[in-house]
Every structure is written in C-alpha cells, then in structure tokens.
Amino acid sequence: MSADYSFFKDVLETVNIAATYTSHPKGLIEQIKQCNSIYKMYFPIRRDNGEYEVIEAYRAEHSHHKKPVKGGIRYSSQVNEDEVKALSALMTFKCALVDVPFGGGKGGVKIDRWDYSINEIERITRRYTYELAIKKFIGPAIDVPAPDYGTGQQEMAWISDTYASLFPEDINADACVTGKPLSQAGIRGRNEATGKGVFYGLKEVVSFNDDMAAIGLRSGISGKKIIVQGLGNVGYFSSYFLQEAGAVIIGIAEKEGGIYNPEGLDIEKVFKHRKAEGSLMTYPGAEPIENSFELLEYECDILIPAALENQITAENAPKIKAKIVAEAANGPVTNEAEKILIDRNIMILPDIYLNAGGVTVSYFEWLKNLSRMSFGKLQKRYDQLNNERIVNAIEHASDTNLTYKQRKEIIKGAGEADLVDSALEETMVESYQELRATAKKNNITNLRTAAFIVSINKIALNYIENGIFP
C-alpha cells in the first residue's frame, strides 16, 4: 500500500458511489459520512521490569443516529486514527444493514500484544477503560465495546470489572461491553458468532442457482474448495462450520506462513497443532507455503480473508483465482482491487454483511445484560412440558412408541444457545435477501454498493423521522 493510502477515504468513496442510487439531499449524505467523535489518548503503564512506557490509543464514534454506538477494540501495532475512523464507519453501515439499533464505533490500542505479558495486558486494558470512562466514551447507553483483533473474552471481562468499579451505582454496568465470558454476564454463542455468521451468510449466498451459475459454480456448500486467511476466532469458526457442512478447506494462511493440501485439511487438528507447536508450518500431510500471501492466489471456489484490512490490493487482485471472495475481516479488499475482481466476474461478499454475526449476537448480549435474565429462561421448561404432552398424545393415538432419542429431540425446549443461533441465522438470511433484491432492482453486480444503498436508506430514514433533516 502507498504511504498516502487512506482506509477511511476508501469507505467514503463507497458511500459516495452508493449514494448516487438514492435521492437523499447532499447535506444528509455528508452527515452520514462524517466521523462524529474521535478520541486520541496517551497513557503510561509500568512494565514488569519496572520501566514505564507510554501507550497510544484511540476510540472513534462514527455515528450517533442510534445509541449507544457499538464496535470492537483491537490491539495491533498498526492501529492509527485513519483505521479506527474507517472501522467505526463500517460498523455504522453494518448495524444498519442487519437492523441492529446501534451507531458505529471502534477502538484501538497501538501495541503488539505478543510483546507484553498477561499482567501488562491487564494493566493496559484497565487503564484504557479508565481513560474512556473519564471522557464518557464508554457506558451501556453511550458506547459499548467488544472484542476485535488481538482481544478476547478476558480483556472484555477486565473492561467490565473496571467500569463497574468506577460506576458502582450503575445497575446496568454489565452492559458496558459485550463479548464477555459466560461467567461474567456473557451470552452463549457470542464467541463463535462472527464465524458462524460467515457460515450462515455463505450458505445463503450459494443457495441461489442462477447467481452461482453466473460465476461458474454449482449451488450449495458441500464440496466447495476453500482457502482461509487467518486462523483466529473468525477464521477458525467459519472454517469449522463450513467443513461440518461438507466444504473442503484446502489452504490456511497465517502470519508465519501457510499450508496447502488440495485433498483437504482437518481444521480442528490444524488449530490444535498450531496451538501446541506455535506454528502451522509443521503440520503433517500439508505443503508449507513460506509466503502466506501467495496462498491467496491459489485456485479455489471461495477465498475467505479473515485477518486484517488491505490484504487484496491492485497488486494481487489480477492473480486471485477464487470464484467468491468472502470478506470475513473488515476491509480486506481495497476499492482498486474490488474493481479488478468484479471486472473478472469474481463475486465479493462485503464485510458489512458477512461478518455482522458478531455485532448481532453482541446486541443480544447487551439486551440480556439490560434485562438481567437469560433468553429462554421463562419459557424453556413450559415448552418442554407442552411438547411432551403432544408427543404422548401422538403415541397414544397411533399406538406407536418413539425411541428415547426421538422423544428427546422433539420434547427439547429452546435454551439461550438455541434462540441465539436461530436469531443469528434469521438475521443473516433476511439481510442477504434484502441486499440481493436491492442489487437486482438497481441492476448492479457490486454487492458492496447494494449493501451500502440499503444502509444509507435506513440511516437517512432515521435522521428524517427524528426531524433532523425534515
């Protein structure tokens, strides 16, 4: 990437293109584009060796058309103001697309987390939370962070604990952050939510025979050959669920390199091997690829970039051989690369749709925290008893006895995990159908443009109904 490249400007360019398919006033579009608030901070932490270090960090709140704003916190040495503004903007449009009532936000701490001990990471996380709190950049009704690249459940638990200690009178303090461990007011299904959303999204996309025929593929997940970039949370879970559905994972790219096997890789075994050995390069039965970026150019049906932004650029886009590029990461395909891929009849599934599973289930966690009750708790036992009565009546009327396994499956009431999973799948299915219909209506092949048209229309309607732009 060139030194003057701007991720945020890339996002705004996409908004400008999509806006031409709408009839909203120029001033309204300008308001929708702007990043409303950006907080850049510096704070000191004490390292384990007794030395002090100054940490650079950010929190961006792109849009307050809905409150609170929502968006992850990433720990990366690449974090900068342009990045968090761009990612917060993508969150705004993502939430609008899938009808999650949040504005978009994003945070980042400019560190390579692997350079710090777990105790140092805790001190950084708690101090970052304190800095957000004193400037009113965090709170259940203000700004609700979540995990992102380099962060996970543990960091979210520290954020929640720090916030609660600063605001002990806030009965809704648990809702200040999502992606928490289950024991700390988290929700079942959140850890795998983004990856499972990728799976549900792809499952819906490849179900349309005519769309698949247009790019030279058969419909259905089964048998699809897939290459995944990134074996973190999103890459692992999306690969896992796709493999369970019959897809063949033939390549995995990571920062230390990649591995390839045209006959398929067992994602669970690869994941465990990397965790044990610290690298996937020594995984038996696979060809090691020293430069993992080369693996993105291998022939496959679906390429899933699930790592960081700007992975497919004008430089490597002409060499991509996948039929579908599925953006599980935020912004992995640049605008220049997108034009090249679409001209080559490669379908791009935009990030603001495909990786929306995380924020969708985060919304459910936020609601759970505000209500202080698990989903399904009021009705699960009632449903079980009612279903049992129905099964007993059927058995009596037909003089047939079901097996224990059959009875168990039918009688089972929906618990929290079942309800979350069902709602996530429904969200991904409905959102894609709306996105696809918009593309067909406007006669455009660029699904990102179609997704932004949907989002812009929803955000604009909110402004108009609030009387801001009468």
Which pLDDT score is estimated for 436? Answer: 97
Range of the domain at 170: 37-183
User: Following DSSP, what letter does each residue of 244-294 receive, concatenated?
Assistant: HTT-EEEEEEETTEEEE-TT---HHHHHHHHHHHS-STT-TTSEEESSHHH
Which pLDDT score is estimated for 3? Answer: 65
Same domain membership, residue 144 and residue 45: yes
399 or 14, greater pLDDT = 14
Which pLDDT score is estimated for 413? Answer: 67
Total number of domains in the chain: 3
Which pLDDT score is estimated for 410? Answer: 79
Position 451 in a domain: no
The answer to whether 329 and 94 have CB atoms below 8 angstroms apart is: no
Cα separation, 347 vs 322, in Å, equals: 9
Q: How many helices (H) and strands (E) does the chain have?
A: 17, 12
Which pLDDT score is estimated for 372? Answer: 87
Cα separation, 41 vs 62, in Å, equals: 17
pLDDT band for position 416 (cuts 50, 70, 90): confident
Same domain membership, residue 311 and residue 171: no
Q: Is residue 2 predicted with pLDDT exceeding 70?
A: no
Which pLDDT score is estimated for 330? Answer: 87
Position 208 in a domain: yes
Cα separation, 409 vs 405, in Å, equals: 6
The distance between the two most distant Cα atoms of the chain, rounded to a whole number of Å, is 78
pLDDT band for position 417 (cuts 50, 70, 90): confident
Position 1 in a domain: no
Same domain membership, residue 338 and residue 224: yes
Q: What are the tens digits of pLDDT across the range 260-304?
A: 999 999 999 999 999 999 899 999 989 999 999 999 999 999 999
324 or 397, greater pLDDT = 324
Same domain membership, residue 72 and residue 43: yes
Q: Of the residues 157, 183, 209, which one is the last residue of a structural domain?
A: 183
Q: Is residue 242 predicted with pLDDT exceeding 60?
A: yes
Q: Which residue has the tokens 């960081």?
A: 308
Averaged pLDDT score across all residues of the chain:
93
Q: What are the tens digits of pLDDT across the range 83-142?
A: 999 999 999 999 999 999 999 999 999 999 999 999 999 999 999 999 999 999 999 999
Tell me the catalytic residues.
106
Same domain membership, residue 342 and residue 218: yes
Position 279 in a domain: yes
Model pTM greater than 0.85? Answer: yes
Position 242 in a domain: yes
CATH number at residue 154: 3.40.50.10860
Q: Is residue 157 predicted with pLDDT exceeding 60?
A: yes
